A and B are shown apart, each in its own frame.
Chain A
């Protein structure tokens, strides 16, 4: 049986992530610099430019999922009124807090708890759940919680959209200063936006390495290597990380090293990963000699609009241009562009029970896309974190049958 190949850079990844958590932990313990919580596609650049270290609870929730601790935690949040039908990042994370548990203390010696923030900042561009999630902690800790109320179902991103979001960001900066005393450094904002853009470009280049046939990278690798793009964008560390990763991938391509030995089929994954089954799923596709080459999910941290010369408007545009914010016509078009780049033979839609926002198979989009392009699809019922919503046996059968179908 084939083994999952590991990139050397994965080791560096461990260090980058450890440094990130220790930096926040130290800040939290000493009170300096102040800690801000931010949503994963929220205004992290702004917060860095205001002198905060930034913590991302979604990342923590994904660790709960990947370490299979989520299902022990979710019921605790359900019991205080957060339905099992809503975001299982939220329920896993709040549940873990209620139980006094964090996987961080298992992984990182000396870290006892998640960091208590000085301010909580969300962006509803991805969903409303993040707002409920952050507000819960705001009430729990009596910490100010602010956010950007974003647009949904956006077709073309217009100047009106950009003006509104840029205006909200400026207001947000003022409120944060009033509440915490941290001031915005405009030069630092430009520099942070520049670094975020560089990180984003490198991350895109990394992902596009999978356009090579065979691909040196799978979606499952991507979900691991995206860590720095999520939690460290806007810093030199993230830029350095992706430069190293890109170089290694280039050597794999030059040497014809395939992530999936004997790659027979190429698949696009639409939707969230099933965190608790990442390894099993990576292995399943490996044994089927099928490479999941690309995904909307990993692409979500590509922000090509960032422009250091116009930080406010470009941040507003970047955070509104995201796939998750857009309408179905845009999304269908997007898949077509991905098809051109990655040349996949099939598409798998993950219908995540607790995240309608990342489940794009509920309004006929797979059928429309498949009809237009002739690319077959299947839908897998599952969830990002709540494994009670995932029937593994049925998913395996569906995936195996799909590959048999592609075999002809």
Chain B
């Protein structure tokens, strides 16, 4: 106890292929700490970094953590985790926290996409993950930004300002890059290209599975590029919601699971 406050907390660590996330919740499921950083190549070190930063933001110490659940691509690298859960379960849990109703979760991650169908109590009715290819994921957007030498944080604004929009025809990241470089060479405005890139991401996701009912989007891509949610809304012609802090939703789910264990 500090000043009469119970400092106990529960940690969820989501080590994605691109970013590592940590969320701390207290015994009443209130979020008390958070951190998001690049995963880098050393996942164990990334886990240490995010947990340290999350504890700092929460004003808590390591010993205040009662339980840790890790998730994500690098979940096995989190040495201090008590349990591991898949990102499918953790995303389901995190989304159900904000939307306790039947929803379809669309997560666009760094390296893969997921569609998860949830029932009213957050039970998983089925899920799909994208195939081996990175087209349609965060990695695809990063690759294009890199090829066109554009800062990632500018992309959303560029797409919002675009006067037109190009159509990207290829499935594959490598083919799409070639297609885009061809457009750039022909002098197509770069804003129009970026808007087309986002549209292609949305289309890839929409063809993964049936996106019925209320759709909730999560992941880093929609966090940094809200235009993606709007485009999916236009495509599906129905509700698409984004929870607070959509990038850390898996870590939140893991923390909530840690609290319940």
Contacts and interface: CB of A to CB of B under 8 A. Distances in A.
A398 B127 CA distance: 9
Interface string B61-73: 0000000000001
B89 A397 contact: no
20 contacts: A376-B125, A376-B126, A378-B127, A381-B131, A389-B132, A391-B132, A394-B112, A394-B129, A394-B132, A397-B88, A397-B129, A398-B129, A401-B86, A401-B87, A401-B124, A404-B85, A404-B89, A405-B88, A405-B126, A405-B127
Given A370-B126, A377-B126, A397-B86, 11 more contacts: A378-B127, A389-B132, A394-B112, A394-B132, A397-B88, A398-B129, A401-B89, A401-B124, A401-B127, A404-B88, A405-B126
A400 B70 CA distance: 14
A377 B89 CA distance: 16
B124 A405 contact: yes
Given A393-B73, A401-B127, A408-B123, A381 B85 contact: no
Contacts of A370: 126
Interface of B: 73, 85-89, 112, 123-129, 131-132
Nearest to B74: A393
Interface string A291-320: 000000000000000000000000000000
Given A381-B132, A394-B132, A401 B126 contact: no
Interface residues of A, number: 17
Contacts of A379: 128
Contacts of A405: 88-89, 124, 126-127
Main secondary structure of the interface of B (DSSP, over half): mixed
Contacts of B132: 381, 389, 391, 394
A397 B126 contact: no
A265 B112 CA distance: 27
A401 B123 contact: no
A211 to B, nearest CB: 26
Interface string A371-408: 00000111101000000010101100110110011001
Contacts of B123: 408
A379 B89 CA distance: 17
A394 B132 CA distance: 8
Contacts of A381: 131-132
B135 to A, nearest CB: 14
Contacts of A398: 129
Interface in A74-108: none
B171 to A, nearest CB: 14
Contacts of B88: 397, 401, 404-405
Nearest to A380: B129
Most buried by A among B89, B123, B127, B129: B129
Contacts of B128: 379
Q: Which 10 A-B pairs have the closest CB atoms?
A: A401-B88, A401-B86, A405-B124, A404-B89, A400-B86, A391-B132, A381-B131, A397-B86, A381-B132, A376-B126
B44 to A, nearest CB: 16
Nearest to B127: A401
B218 to A, nearest CB: 15
Nearest to A353: B132
Nearest to B210: A367
Contacts of A397: 73, 86-88, 129
Contacts of A408: 123
Contacts of B125: 376
Contacts of B124: 401, 404-405
A379 B208 CA distance: 12
A378 B132 CA distance: 15
A381 to B, nearest CB: 5
A31 to B, nearest CB: 48
A381 B128 CA distance: 11
Nearest to B87: A397
Nearest to A377: B126
A408 B89 CA distance: 10
A376 B112 CA distance: 22
Contacts of B73: 393, 397
A84 to B, nearest CB: 14
Nearest to A367: B210
Contacts of A377: 126
Contacts of B85: 404
Interface in A188-214: none
Interface in A252-293: none
B115 to A, nearest CB: 12
A370 B127 CA distance: 13
A271 to B, nearest CB: 15
Contacts of A400: 86
A401 B73 CA distance: 12
